[in-house]
């Protein structure tokens, strides 16, 4: 659910940037905006990248998986060569450890120790 909400915001920002570049005179000829989303929930990451509908997930399809066409699938393969990056405009979803997930303090209640560790990661104090 949080991945879906994050993607809604990210896609809005991405579309706004792409709309603003031409009026500002910035060249957009052969490059597109690339993004990476980090997810600590293995189930959410699997649903987003593999995009398989099961009897347990079919009711989530319309509401939470509107962004599937924007996510790069594992079957898409690596970039053209080792020195290049993706430039197809799709979004890469990557697994991140819960301990390193900076957004945890915004999505769930944390104990004081975890909250302070997370705050230090984000704010530096």
Can you give the pLDDT at residue 77? 65
Reported as a single tens digit per residue, the pLDDT across 30-58 is: 666 778 899 988 888 888 888 777 777 77
Structure tokens at 23: 């009026």
Is residue 121 assigned to a domain? Answer: no
Q: Does pTM top 0.75 for this prediction?
A: no
Number of structural domains the chain divides into: 1
Reported as a single tens digit per residue, the pLDDT across 80-116 is: 555 545 556 688 889 988 778 887 778 788 889 988 9
Q: Is 119 exposed, middle or buried (0-12, 13-18, 19+ CB in 10 A)?
A: middle
What is the number of other CB atoms lying within 10 angstroms of the CB of residue 49?
Answer: 20
Is residue 59 assigned to a domain? Answer: yes
Is residue 103 assigned to a domain? Answer: no
User: Distance between CA atoms of 87 and 7, rounded to whole angstroms?
Assistant: 18
The parent domain of residue 45 ranges over 2-97
Q: Among 43, 41, 21, which residue's Cα sits nearest to residue 32? A: 21
């Amino acid at each position: 659910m949080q991945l879906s909400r994050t993607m809604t915001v990210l896609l809005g920002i991405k579309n706004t940037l792409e709309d603003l570049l031409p009026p500002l005179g910035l060249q957009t000829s052969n490059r597109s905006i690339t993004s990476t989303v980090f997810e600590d929930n293995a189930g959410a990451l699997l649903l987003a990248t593999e995009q398989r509908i099961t009897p347990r997930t079919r009711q989530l399809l319309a509401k939470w998986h509107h962004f599937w066409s924007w996510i790069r699938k594992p079957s898409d393969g690596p970039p053209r060569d080792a020195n290049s990056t993706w430039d197809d405009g799709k979004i890469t979803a990557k697994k991140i450890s819960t301990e390193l997930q900076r957004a945890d303090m915004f999505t769930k209640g944390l104990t004081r120790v975890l909250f302070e560790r997370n705050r230090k990661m984000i704010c530096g104090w």
